[in-house]
Structure 1
């Protein structure tokens, strides 16, 4: 049984017996250049990622600070570039000698008992964070390591770092709030601006935090056709994540999902015809199908072994084939899928989907994923970013964490510190920077469906629930960003 919880948007005239025509939409994979890894160079260092991230977002943070100039808090001349030496005497006062001004300097130029503005990347020193060096140094310790869900401790300390130096932050700081927190929410790896002064203990006393300025909100919103009314302009994108094929749930749900997308659900076929694309947001194969023991065996021992993921992949292929026969389907890589674990995760090999790959409507894509459907830019991840944030913080609200990653303009701020990713060369751009701003920003494999409209309802952030647990998929109407959950059940209405 398929149930749409929004009855109005799913209303259909069952008396009309007419053929259903699939609606089409323009599509572009806009993240191709920075997300596809053409060659892997293991000798590169991760410092280039932080340097590129800081250089890319520094102007946007600088621009956010410009809004404070009108309040006579910041010196406009000092905001044009970062001073690497000692601040000049002209910053000691305003033009009339009475208005206090705050110079923007590099961290190495900070002097005690003087207020400054700095821009840098946030880092966090954690006692409980796993470290291979710590494991080697404690190799004679006979006690087994403690298995933890989170690695937060009261002794954690926050630092801000630029290309000259790092400095500990203090003030109204709660080190256990999210990954790094003051009275506002901050993450490891975020590029922010801070106003404060160095105290006698050599720590930077923070008064105010600035995020990268966002000036591209309205430009990505498609123009609404005033002549279109009612359901005429509806255009849906379906998001589904966590199929976990091979797991402990009824496979009939997959058949129902495929039938709904292909328009074989009778009165629901009208709304199915308006689905222009299906995005499968990772974790399509269940984690128990990963044969970890085979990786440690000799090749001659595993030569005649059959992977436990073969049958689930065949089932997934059949499901995708049915959907691809009538609709465009993008399959993102996920944490439990048969692909590399390094972010950005590369598309799963098409040879694993012999039935689906013959369709031009089928595509395996990267994680994170950036695409443009008509005039709407859609950006999202398979959920590793939120999961990793939860490990190194006390945050439990996935939607709040997702909103902060959008505010920081970085999809995976904790990479490469605690989230594995590819090292980049000096000439490469950070693949996790969100540019341009998306109209729909999502994260897959969440515990429940959550969503929120931002910036005068021009942006939607969406937590896509795990299908194997909630039996839900999500429809997003690109016309007005209206969210409609669709629940599948083989027994009762959800």
Structure 2
């Protein structure tokens, strides 16, 4: 802020940056030498981890109804079966489609955004066998392979299981959120969520809007009210898509091409340095960023950001995707959006509802579904690439977050989802390159709203 020529500043006009306790819990997303196995082991671990909570939910919802294994099913007897879903999809892309032109989906079908069809069917598999599901109690379009659940019903004459009702695992325990003090409630303390900055790609993202966003966060934009809000931002989380989508050829590049590829990295380094000098920043990788593409994505290497890394670990952190952390006593869990985008391609679920732009309705529906399924990425590894963990499943929800976010979505949206005693706020973080919008979330009230630049 400008000062009088005598150099004396008015203390009442000096704004202090909000500071909140922060801790990350990304250890379970780290890759080590012990993870590699077969994918069936990942599905088995998922069933073992969610099985006890599923039995708890079944006992509470359907007391007195016997739970049996698939091999022990008897025709006409009402019972409960627990297991993992497999979705048989005619249009699901296969690598063999490139070589077998007459079999499976045609090229025009594979290019579609949705792979659902009327011929899709569901199979429930436990440790010993599998049974095909039918009936009005199960909506095939709403599920993907990998969901752990229980069904109540009976075996009919053709050997299929007719479903009456569905039950999901009991929610993971949720930490008690600290009560906001009067001082904090009046001033407000915020976390800024953004994604899809696409720094260095002027065709995809407006450089002016990026500069406006940076000036806003650092307190160099707007009047006293705007600067007060900027000072209340305790952390910035970039949820993927910070760099442009670049196709780097396999052959070596000449000097000019190398400079073109490196230019966005230098520009992002400048942006991160500017932000980290004013406010703590978490940088998550996303689809197409220079790290591994299979989930969980590992942090972008510090050597990519020689200037910003000097602020590490105090105000700059390169994080994993998914990212699990606590700030101000509020638990956050989020992804760069690949899990939601993948679910959108293999389901057809649009309920809509209050809490944001209509374009975010599908994203919020799918995020709500993953909260109820108690798993962030149920479609991995079937249709979403992930590492073949053999001794754990890092994507199941082991503690219910207060805030669950997904980046790279078409529009902003938020929705409160209650599962048992746990309540989670789902936040659809818009793609900045398409919307020029970021999300401000109040840590004390968990209310959030978008802030749009350049309009």
Give the structure-2-normalised TM-score: 0.87
Q: Is the 8 A contact 1:107 1:162 kept in 2?
A: yes
Q: Does 1:127 align with 2:90?
A: yes
- Change beyond 3 A, Cα 1:144–1:30: closer
Deviation at 1:307, TM superposition (A): 6.2
Matches of 1:115 and 1:302, distance apart in 2: 69
- Change beyond 3 A, Cα 1:27–1:201: same
1:418-445: CA deviations, max 9, x gaps? 00000112x3x21111111100001111
Matches of 2:439 and 2:232, distance apart in 1: 14
- Change beyond 3 A, Cα 1:128–1:51: same
Q: Does 1:417 align with 2:382?
A: yes
Q: Which residue in 1 is equivalent to 2:332?
A: 378
- Change beyond 3 A, Cα 1:113–1:470: same
- List aligned pairs for 1:420-435, cutoff 5 A: 420-425=385-390, 427=391, 429-435=392-398
- Change beyond 3 A, Cα 1:473–1:353: same
1:156-212: CA deviations, max 9, x gaps? 11011111111110001675523x2xxxxxx43111111111111111110110011
- List aligned pairs for 1:65-464, cutoff 5 A: 65-68=58-61, 73-75=62-64, 102-133=65-96, 135-138=98-101, 146=109, 147-172=111-136, 177-178=141-142, 180=143, 187-214=144-171, 216-217=173-174, 219-225=175-181, 227-228=182-183, 230-232=185-187, 234-245=188-199, 246-248=201-203, 249-265=205-221, 266-267=223-224, 268-287=226-245, 289-291=246-248, 294-295=249-250, 297=251, 299=252, 305-306=257-258, 308-360=260-312, 361-396=315-350, 397-425=362-390, 427=391, 429-455=392-418, 458-464=423-429
- Change beyond 3 A, Cα 1:256–1:152: same
Compare CA radii of gyration and give the structure with the larger one: 1
Matches of 1:393 and 1:247, distance apart in 2: 34
1:215-259: CA deviations, max 9, x gaps? 634x3322333x447524x22100001112215232011111111
Deviation at 1:410, TM superposition (A): 0.7
- Change beyond 3 A, Cα 1:453–1:145: closer
- Change beyond 3 A, Cα 1:285–1:410: same
Give the structure-1-normalised TM-score: 0.81
Q: Which runs of 5 or more structure 1 residues have no equivalent in the other structure?
A: 1-14, 76-101, 181-186
| Structure with greater proportional helix content | 2
Q: Does 1:49 align with 2:1?
A: no
Q: Does 1:35 align with 2:29?
A: yes
Q: Is the 8 A contact 1:247 1:286 kept in 2?
A: no
Q: Is the 8 A contact 2:151 2:166 kept in 1?
A: yes
Deviation at 1:325, TM superposition (A): 0.3
Deviation at 1:459, TM superposition (A): 2.5
Matches of 2:185 and 2:85, distance apart in 1: 47
Q: Is the 8 A contact 1:168 1:204 kept in 2?
A: yes
Deviation at 1:373, TM superposition (A): 0.8
- Change beyond 3 A, Cα 1:422–1:254: same
Q: Which runs of 5 or more structure 2 residues have no equivalent in the other structure?
A: 1-9, 351-361
Paired residue secondary structure (2:132): strand
- Change beyond 3 A, Cα 1:140–1:198: closer
Matches of 1:318 and 1:139, distance apart in 2: 52
Deviation at 1:414, TM superposition (A): 0.5
- Change beyond 3 A, Cα 1:457–1:483: farther
